[in-house]
Amino acid sequence: MASKPSLALKRRLKAPPQKVYEAWTQPEKMIHWWGVYDDKKPPICETDVRIGGRFRVQFWTPDGQHHSVGGVYREIVPDQKLVFSWAWQSTPERESRVTVDLKPDSDGTILTLTHEQFFDDKARDDHSRGWNASLDKLERMFA
């Protein structure tokens, strides 16, 4: 069987792993960097950070489109690693998997995001654009 498309992105952030982990798990911090959204209407983020707990993020693009994505936390190592399922409300049957690894790097953190099991190459490419835009905002948040 052919493997499904995946992507891996790496960023160095000017913050310790604990602060980066909080940015991924605390809704009041997630709203500042998550998603490509209309600046007049911030995302709505909900988290239940425990194995089997769920997260959901809703946002509106500048053209007014509503998007909602969510999943279930599969593995949690505070300040080091998060693994969760990922599915858009519009295509719940297309579940994929996200792993976020955080490694201390002198005064900062190396973040490696791996997103696996995409439905097709187009889904991977679309997510690559979205994740890069979000990670750009996350970098600016810690600049």
Distance CA 13, CA 105 (A): 9
Task: Check residue 62 and give its pLDDT.
Answer: 82
Task: Check residue 79 and give its pLDDT.
Answer: 98
The pairs formed by 51-59 with CB atoms below 8 angstroms and a separation of 24 or more are: 51/75, 51/76, 55/84, 57/30, 59/34, 59/35
**pLDDT over 60 at 26, yes or no:** yes
Chain segment 70-118, per-residue pLDDT in tens: 999 999 999 999 999 999 999 999 999 999 999 999 999 999 999 999 9
**pLDDT over 60 at 1, yes or no:** no
Beta-carbon contacts of 105 under 8 Å, excluding residues fewer than 6 positions away, are 12
In Å, how far from its chain's centre is CA 57? 10
Query: pTM score, two decimals?
Result: 0.94
Q: What is the mean pLDDT of the chain?
A: 94
- 40-57: average pLDDT: 94
Local structure of residue 43 (DSSP, 8 states): -
DSSP-assigned beta bridge partners for residue 70: 56, 87
